[in-house]
A = this chain, B = another copy of it.
Amino acid sequence: MNPKDPNAGERPPRPVTAAMVARAAGVSTATVSLVANGKASGRVSERNVQKVRQAISDLGYVVDGIGSSLARGVSSTVIMVAPDISNPFFARLIAGVRKVLGSDYQLLLSVTDPGQSPSVPEVRRLLGLRPAGLLIDAPNRQFLSELGSPIPVVAIDAPDAPPQVPAVNLDVAQGARDMVEHFAGLGHRKVAYLDANTGTATLRQRQQAFTHAVHEHGMQLPEGAVIATTIDVGEAAAGFAAAWPQWQAQGITAIGCATDTHAYGVLQEARVAGLQLPDELAVAGFDDLPYSSTTNPPLTSINLDAEGLGSGAARQLRRLIEGEPLDASHLVLPGQLVVRGSTVAQA
């Protein structure tokens, strides 16, 4: 670590093994193992602990994860399999996971092809790495029922996970109902929905609950009032721009968006079109991304706790790994409607 380290930047000759440390300290590798893993107390004399510690730091010994994993049967690695990492929601999710895993487990990400649910063979290969547990983001139901993992698995954002697969989800259906109720309370009668076309379960749920709630409230979702684009401000803007003339003619005054990203596109085009928000058009989204409080106007959104989702999933996984019982196999985190200027004129 010393910047003047003569070895800096070069290939160290060969890695330091426990045997080398044992020799240097004059003890057995068993003792080195105990000390290196913090299991020395009460089992190794203070004198030997010191000698081993000294040798470890002198030689720069790091426990070899492979040897250790083989001996123990598992590694201290947690692998998270995720289809889509390039969005701020995911970054917050990871932050939550990392927080709970701390330094006890090493988090590694395995990215599947964009928008694809992971495949069973792919995950089986990952299993060959002997992770302590697996976190699987947005898997589809079929995958989950086919997997059958020998190690603990927790699904994230998998509302359709079978009961035997622990999962932690977001209550997006309730969020959708809250959004619709909010629109209804404001007097909107005809609404539209800007969906995401990625086909994950959480997105499907949002749309279905939205549609259902609209009818329950006696409101209308006219012909052609549900369109879908990718999760991209530009695509959403273009989609809205194309649909708006007709929607306007149909008397639509409010738009629910599957994600805040979609809503940003709507806001952008609406401002360019000179629409008065929220008077002529009300817009709301899902996710409550950080920027939603500073858009113009600020965006009404369903706050979904990405970090809580990550920490919750990691917590469940730790329980499983460590053999503790789960309070519940499926956890559902509530969302929260955050009302801002895109639906209600603010002071």
Contacts and interface: CB of A to CB of B under 8 A. Distances in A.
Given A107-B110, A108-B110, A146-B5, A128 B62 contact: yes
Interface of A: 1, 3, 5, 7-12, 14-15, 62-70, 75, 77, 79, 84-88, 90-91, 94-95, 98, 106-111, 113-114, 120-121, 124-130, 142, 144-150, 162, 164-165, 232-235, 238, 264, 268, 271-272, 290-291, 294-296
A111 B107 contact: yes
**Chain A binding surface SS class:** mixed
**Leading 5 A-B pairs by shortest Cβ distance:** A65-B128, A234-B291, A109-B109, A86-B91, A108-B108
Assembly of this chain: how many copies?
Answer: 2
A120 B3 CA distance: 12
Contacts of A87: 86
A8 B148 contact: yes
A5 B148 contact: yes
Contact of A296 (B121, B148, B272, B294): B272
Contacts of A296: 272
Contact of A79 (B5, B98, B108, B164): B108
Contacts of A110: 106-109
A128 B92 CA distance: 27
Contacts of A114: 91, 95
Contacts of A294: 234-235, 238
Contact of A9 (B64, B109, B162): B162
A264 B64 CA distance: 47
Contacts of A128: 62-66, 68
Given A62-B128, A64-B128, A291 B233 contact: yes
Given A108-B108, A232-B291, A233-B291, A146 B3 contact: yes
A192 to B, nearest CB: 21
Given A10-B148, A86-B90, A146-B1, A67 B70 contact: yes
A85 B79 contact: no
Contacts of A12: 148, 150
Contacts of A149: 11
23 contacts: A3-B146, A10-B148, A11-B149, A11-B150, A15-B150, A62-B124, A62-B127, A62-B128, A64-B128, A65-B128, A65-B129, A66-B75, A66-B128, A68-B128, A85-B90, A85-B109, A108-B109, A234-B291, A234-B294, A235-B291, A235-B294, A268-B268, A272-B272
Contact of A145 (B9, B14, B98): B9
A78 to B, nearest CB: 11
Contacts of A75: 66, 129
A335 to B, nearest CB: 21
Contacts of A95: 114
A94 B111 contact: yes
